[in-house]
Structures are given as C-alpha cells and as structure tokens.
C-alpha cells in the first residue's frame, strides 16, 4: 500500500459522508465498505447539536478524517475554509477543492496550485482534487503536494473513467506518487478499473450515498476495489488483436 503523508491506509477506499438517507445508513455503509478514510465537509459538520452529533458519529467510525473545501470557488475561500477545518477536525489533512466551472464542477487548476502552495507552507498536508493534466500535476507537486487526486469524471456524474488514456499516462509519469481517482465513479466496475490501472485508492460518495441500497453498494465497492488491486498486483496479460490458443500444440496427436 502507498503511504499518504506517512500514513498507510487500512483500505484503499475513501468514502464521503454527504447525501445519505439517514445517519444510521451512513454508519452502516461505512462499516460494510471497510473504508479507511471519511471525507467530511465543514459545511456538513455545521454547528450546534446536529453538527456535534454528526462529528461524534464520524469519530466513532474509527477511520481517518479528510476534511474538504467543497463548494469553494476562490483561493481565499478555500484557504480560509481549510484553516477552519483544521481547527474543527484537528487534522492537517485537507482535500483541496477549488471549483472553476459551475456545471461540470471542474477544478480551477490555476487557483488550485496557488492555494496548494499557500496551504503547504502553512503546514497542511494537501490532497488536491485536480484534472488528469500532467503539467498541473507537476505544478502541484512543486507546490508541496505529495498526493494527486485526478478526477475520473465530473463529481456525481457516475460516468466512470472518462479519459483512461490520460489516467494511464499519469500513473506512468508519477510512479512513486500516491494517486487517487476522485469523482465520477458510479459502479463497482469503475472502481475496480481504477485499481487495475495501478491507482492507490479511490474516493467516492454519490455512488454509494444515492444508491437504492447504500449499504449493499458500499459492500460491492469494497469487493470491487479489492479485486482490482489484486488483479493489478497479479500482473495481468496484455490485450491482443489476434487470438492465441491456450491449449499447447506440442504433444497433440496427428492422424496420418
């Protein structure tokens, strides 16, 4: 398993905490998924009794917490939210989201690099939600990030891996950098494919939270991610254009 800022995850699934039908279903889904990380929005945690109860439930799950800056559209807003999250959740981890396009929720990669640099200098361990662009990846690493989180597809779209080629290239370009496919996963097969490509973890939320049966889907995602990782580690065969017989010709009987 890859190390994320010196921490090895117990499971390569990172699961969000928003949009579940109820807190009880959220808790059951987490336990069935075996997720090692819970992503939490400062807005979701909120204030007052409801917020305190939610935060206590997350703590009781016994998983690592990754606060995010969801909904931020400017560098100042993202940096301010990150500082607030550090105080509330008592962690230097931050999933940095800085949205640049309202409809696709594509990250503003220019602001992302700037915010990542500021936060890294302030002692944060930044998990940037980014595109699969190699140059932006380089800039984020130069800014102090030790993890990259390229999207599979737009947040909540369930489209899977829109640009498999670019994700493959990113994995090859940064062989020693922990990489997480973040956003767009809709099916267990999408999650398995991300792990088959050699990614170190998958982050998802909507696919589980909005499923007809979130608990069953959480269990399915766990199995798919485990299968994908095992398949990658097993060094699968390359795809071929032509057939290749699996039965050897040597020793075959020939009639004359």
Q: What is the set of domains in the chain, with CATH numbers? A: 9-234 (3.20.20.70)
Residues 6+ apart with CB under 8 A from 173: 134, 137
Q: What per-residue confidence (pLDDT) applies to 104?
A: 84
Region at 82 (left for phi over 0; alpha for psi -120 to 50; beta for the rest): alpha
For residue 79, the cross-strand partners are none
> Binding site annotation covers 206?
yes
Lowest mean pLDDT among 96-105, 180-189, 193-202: 96-105
Q: What per-residue confidence (pLDDT) applies to 255?
A: 66
The answer to whether 158 touches 205, Cβ cutoff 8 Å, is no
**CB burial class (10 A; 0-12, 13-18, 19+) of residue 175?**
exposed
- Helix then strand count (H, E) for the chain reads 10, 10
Residues recorded for the chain: 256
Catalytic residue among 76, 95, 229, 252: 95
Q: Is the pLDDT of residue 239 over 60?
A: yes
Lowest mean pLDDT among 46-50, 123-127, 233-237, 249-253: 46-50
3-state secondary structure of 25: helix
What is the band of 12 on the pLDDT scale with cuts at 50, 70, 90? Answer: very high
Q: Please give the Cα distance from 81 to 75 (Å, whole number).
A: 10
Residues 6+ apart with CB under 8 A from 193: 160, 161, 164, 228
> Binding site annotation covers 205?
yes
Q: Which residue has the higher pLDDT, 105 or 149?
A: 149
Q: Is the pLDDT of residue 252 over 80?
A: no
pLDDT digit string, tens, across residues 16-74? 999 999 989 999 999 999 999 999 987 645 555 556 777 788 888 889 999 999 989 99
> Binding site annotation covers 184?
yes
Residue 95 annotated as catalytic: yes
> Binding site annotation covers 17?
no
Q: Mean of the per-residue pLDDT values for the chain?
A: 91
Q: Please give the Cα distance from 244 to 202 (Å, whole number).
A: 34
The answer to whether 181 touches 193, Cβ cutoff 8 Å, is no
pLDDT digit string, tens, across residues 208-225? 999 999 999 999 999 999
What is the band of 256 on the pLDDT scale with cuts at 50, 70, 90? Answer: low
């Amino acid at each position: 398993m890859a190390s994320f800022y010196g921490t090895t995850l117990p499971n390569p699934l990172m699961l969000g905490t928003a949009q579940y039908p109820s807190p009880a279903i959220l808790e059951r889904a987490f336990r069935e998924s075996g997720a090692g990380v819970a992503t939490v929005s400062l807005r979701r945690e909120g204030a007052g009794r409801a917020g305190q109860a939610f935060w206590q439930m997350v703590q009781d799950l016994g998983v690592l917490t990754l606060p995010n800056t969801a909904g931020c559209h400017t560098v100042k807003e993202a940096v301010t939210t990150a500082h607030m999250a550090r105080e509330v959740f008592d962690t230097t981890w931050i999933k940095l989201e800085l949205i640049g396009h309202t409809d696709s929720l594509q990250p503003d990669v220019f602001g992302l690099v700037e915010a990542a640099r500021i936060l890294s200098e302030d002692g944060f361990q930044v998990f940037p939600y980014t595109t699969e662009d190699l140059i932006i990846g380089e800039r984020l690493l130069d800014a102090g990030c030790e993890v990259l989180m390229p999207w599979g597809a737009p947040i909540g779209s369930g489209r899977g891996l829109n640009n498999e080629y670019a994700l493959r290239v990113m994995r090859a370009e940064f062989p020693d950098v922990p990489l997480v496919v973040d956003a767009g996963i809709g099916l267990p097969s999408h999650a398995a494919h991300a792990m088959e490509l050699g990614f170190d973890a998958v982050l998802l939320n909507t696919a589980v939270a909005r499923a007809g049966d979130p608990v069953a889907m959480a269990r399915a995602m766990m199995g798919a991610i485990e299968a994908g990782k095992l398949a990658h580690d097993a060094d699968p065969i390359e795809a071929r254009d032509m057939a290749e017989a699996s039965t050897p010709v040597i020793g075959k009987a020939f009639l004359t």
